Structure 1
Amino acid sequence: MQYKILISGDRADFTTLTLDLGKKELSILANYAAPFNSSWTELSSSQGSIDRLIGLSEGIESGLLYSFEIDHAQKTCKITSQQPTLGAPGHFITLRDSSALVLGTYLGGSVAVYPVSITDANTLLLKDAPRTEILPKFPYESVGHGPNKGRQRQCHIHQILEDRRGLLYAPDLGSDRVWILRRDKVKLEICGWLQCPPGTGARHAVLAPGGTIMYVIGELSHTVIAFDLSTAPAEAIRPIDGFAPNIIPSTIHPDHQTMMDSAEICLHPTIPNVLYVSNRWERHIAQREPHLKNVPKALPPGDDVAIILLSNDGKTVKDMKHMRTNVDVIRGMRLSDDGRYVVVAGQEGGGVEVYEISGDKGDVWTFVAGLNEGLQGGIKHAIWL
């Protein structure tokens, strides 16, 4: 049996890989020229040998949101539609009703709705129509910055989620909030927020099955915060008491943790009450702050993933395990749709690795295959095709 993976990021190409389970090998299928810093992509639809996708280019002063398609048989890749964005878009979703894409911009600090059309061939295209954009007010504006002076100087929208009611959620690293937005066709309004502890730096979040609990990873605090959404939308919804596990391995000195960032948070698609959350930059602590003392000279082979086991109601942490990978600076982590495998990608090195997920609780990861040779660096994202 074989799986296909697409990797992208701050690199010249999209790269497709094949995972051969019989041989336990990852290999390169093809490279295709990609827009600048294509740090997030998602599969839109598939037909025969053609995969239709959506991607973004982070840009600098302005970014790009685009649709594209890869024909694996012909080994071609072409952009089919595109629209400019504010600076450094970070994440987008396709709305459940397929009427639009919603995009969060990390440097633009905005949430924007981009209308789309679906062709007879089930191809999603961005419409050449005005977008709706909303810029949340920065709550630390009177002070000039949040608790982390270097990282919290404006709103930094890092992700967009949609719940079953159609409410949108936007984790904001700059404001320590997850904004709640209501959409009426292409119109947006902020109708509340989840209030993270100061200095959390909300990066990514996941909605538990049923949509009653949201788990948020703080890039700056390295803690997972949980919120009961039964009262949403409302202003300043507080986290669930007592739920704030720190995902950094206990072997790392507390004084060194500020040199690390947290990255991705994932749920298992079929096994309930387990979270997977990745750490990054552990191998670069001394490099990022040369004046730190007692930084171990023996570096780990790669970054670590925390596996968090939850209570039946999802409101308490029962146990936490750590899985050591061989990839350096985990930026991309994605489970296959069937939940059997997880791919992790290293932004600074170590390439791509795939692990099999097993155990009744989904807490056993077994290395399957890895690939580094022949890959460009700068990998920020990986998806299953």
Structure 2
Amino acid sequence: MGSDSGATRAFIGSFTSAGGPGITVAAVDAKSGALTALGATDAVPDPSYLALGRGTGPAGGVLYAVSETEDGAAAALDVTGDVPRPVDGTRPVDGGGPTHLALAGGHLLTANYNSGSVTALPVRADGSLGPAASVLRHEGSGPNPDRQRSPHAHQVLPDPSGNWVLSVDLGTDSVRICALDPATGELRPHGETPLRPGTGPRHLAFHPAGGHAYVLNELEPTVTTCRWNAAAGVLEPVGETPVLPDGAPADSDAAAYPSEVVVSPDGRFLWTANRGPDSISVLALDPTGERVTPVTAVDCGGHWPRDLALDPTGRRLYAANERSGNVTWFDVDPETGVPERAGSLDVPAASCVIFG
């Protein structure tokens, strides 16, 4: 397994409205992967998802958070110390309930679930955020009357080439592909890939080789394998695989609502976090990245795993268990991909974990 975690600190988001501390900074033990809380701030309401600025520029080392509130906002925080400090307050995203964010082309992008839109905010020289440069509003609906009456953008991220922005919409059963103008922040629609109606796509992850993407569906516990053509900006579905070893449970009380999908750096394994069964599924990928095979599932070490993350080495998995209020870490067997529980840190209403 090796002994270096590849990271010195972790950043954990949590819902302040449910008793969470907000944004927690934790030290990562290099040998064990264990987390030790260093400090926290509740300066940003409901910071449910986080992203860390990379590189050596002014934005490098700045932490970004959504504020998953009805009004919707994002914030930049200085994390040079053990307690995050807001750089310039919160910035409205002109959308409701932002649930995800990513950095691309000199902008911070937010996926706004309630309003079904994606917002681009410019990142200033000091890492702070400027006013919204553009808002791309999704259109459409799906067959589920409770969850799909309108668009619900759940994730936004750049593709590996950096030329495209993809947004995953649970409400419209589709993934949109856009181009981002780094000079103006304009999001220009390029295409939309429909997925099977009623599946409710939530998040996607790319294969490290860049030619495939795996879309995790929330309303049905499956993952849709897609070919990704970065030159043309085209996403093509080619298969769908149950994420639970025995398929979807028949008992509605035990229904599964997958939350996050992660692919190993070597492209051999795929993991999903599954709310309901409170499990982490292990799926094997063939050398081409196109065939996905369920292997097994293990207990997530808590209740309602909202997020799943690999440490930078790919040797450990961390599950943010929202309802049990803890982040659990696992050692990953390099041969089988099966996680083995190694420890846990209490974080009430935990919603995500990232490393830096």
Q: Pick the TM interval, shorter chain.
A: 0.7 to 0.9
> Which residue pairs with 1:133 in the alignment?
135
Shift of 1:232: 4.6
Cα distance change of structure 1 residues 195 and 259 upon mapping to structure 2, 3 Å threshold: same
Distance 1:258 1:174 in 2: 22
> Which residue pairs with 1:194 in the alignment?
193
Does 2:308 match 1:321?
no
Computing the radius of gyration from Cα coordinates, the structure with the larger value is 1
SS in 2 for 1:349: coil
Cα distance change of structure 1 residues 90 and 25 upon mapping to structure 2, 3 Å threshold: closer
Kindly tell me the number of residue pairs found equivalent between the two proteins. Answer: 338
Q: 1:259-274 maps to which residues of 2 (within 5 A)?
A: 259-269=255-265, 271-274=266-269
Within the candidate set 176, 179, 184, 2:181 is matched to 184
RMSD between aligned residues:
2.4
Within the candidate set 67, 90, 105, 2:76 is matched to 67
% identity of equivalent residues: 24
Within the candidate set 43, 60, 72, 1:34 is matched to 43
Residues 267-312 of structure 1, C-alpha deviations (whole Å, 9 max, x = no match):
112x213111110123xxxxxxxxxxxxxxxxxxxx1111110111
Distance 2:257 2:40 in 1: 30
Cα distance change of structure 1 residues 239 and 43 upon mapping to structure 2, 3 Å threshold: same
Shift of 1:149: 0.8
| Cα contact 1:105–1:156 (8 A) shared by 2 | yes
Within the candidate set 121, 126, 140, 1:114 is matched to 121
Within the candidate set 237, 240, 258, 1:239 is matched to 237
| Cα contact 2:244–2:281 (8 A) shared by 1 | yes
Shift of 1:341: 1.5
Residues 156-209 of structure 1, C-alpha deviations (whole Å, 9 max, x = no match):
011112121511111100000001112233222222112110111010001122
| Cα contact 1:326–1:350 (8 A) shared by 2 | no
Residues 338-375 of structure 1, C-alpha deviations (whole Å, 9 max, x = no match):
112111111000511111123235x1322222123xx4
Shift of 1:46: 8.3
Distance 1:248 1:225 in 2: 14
Cα distance change of structure 1 residues 341 and 221 upon mapping to structure 2, 3 Å threshold: same
Shift of 1:132: 0.8
| Cα contact 2:158–2:164 (8 A) shared by 1 | yes
Distance 1:83 1:64 in 2: 5
Residues 117-139 of structure 1, C-alpha deviations (whole Å, 9 max, x = no match):
234xxxx2212x4521111221x
| Cα contact 2:243–2:281 (8 A) shared by 1 | yes
SS in 1 for 2:202: strand
Distance 1:257 1:214 in 2: 30
Q: 1:215-230 maps to which residues of 2 (within 5 A)?
A: 215-230=214-229
| Cα contact 2:143–2:198 (8 A) shared by 1 | yes
> Which residue pairs with 2:351 in the alignment?
380
Distance 1:330 1:318 in 2: 22
Does 2:65 match 1:55?
yes
Shift of 1:23: 7.1
Residues 69-93 of structure 1, C-alpha deviations (whole Å, 9 max, x = no match):
1343xx4432113320211111111
* Structure 2 residue runs without a partner (length 5+): none
Distance 2:228 2:151 in 1: 22
Q: What letter is aligned with 2:66?
A: L
Residues 301-332 of structure 1, C-alpha deviations (whole Å, 9 max, x = no match):
xx111111011111112442212222110012
Shift of 1:113: 1.4
Distance 1:314 1:23 in 2: 30
Distance 2:190 2:32 in 1: 52
Kindly indicate whether structure 1 or structure 2 has the higher relative contact order, using CA contacts under 8 Å at least 6 residues apart.
Answer: 2
Distance 2:186 2:193 in 1: 21
Distance 1:177 1:229 in 2: 15
Q: What letter is aligned with 1:118?
A: A
| Cα contact 1:46–1:52 (8 A) shared by 2 | no
Q: What letter is aligned with 1:27?
A: T
Q: What letter is aligned with 1:175?
A: T
212-221 or 254-263, larger mean C-alpha shift: 254-263
Q: 1:292-371 maps to which residues of 2 (within 5 A)?
A: 303-349=278-324, 351-360=326-335, 363-371=337-345
SS in 2 for 1:175: coil
Q: What letter is aligned with 2:101?
A: F
Cα distance change of structure 1 residues 125 and 156 upon mapping to structure 2, 3 Å threshold: same
Does 2:163 match 1:158?
no
Distance 2:245 2:125 in 1: 46
Distance 2:151 2:325 in 1: 32
Cα distance change of structure 1 residues 130 and 383 upon mapping to structure 2, 3 Å threshold: closer
> Which residue pairs with 1:281 in the alignment?
276
Within the candidate set 228, 231, 254, 2:250 is matched to 254
Distance 1:247 1:202 in 2: 13
Residues 249-269 of structure 1, C-alpha deviations (whole Å, 9 max, x = no match):
528732337733110001112
Distance 1:30 1:203 in 2: 31
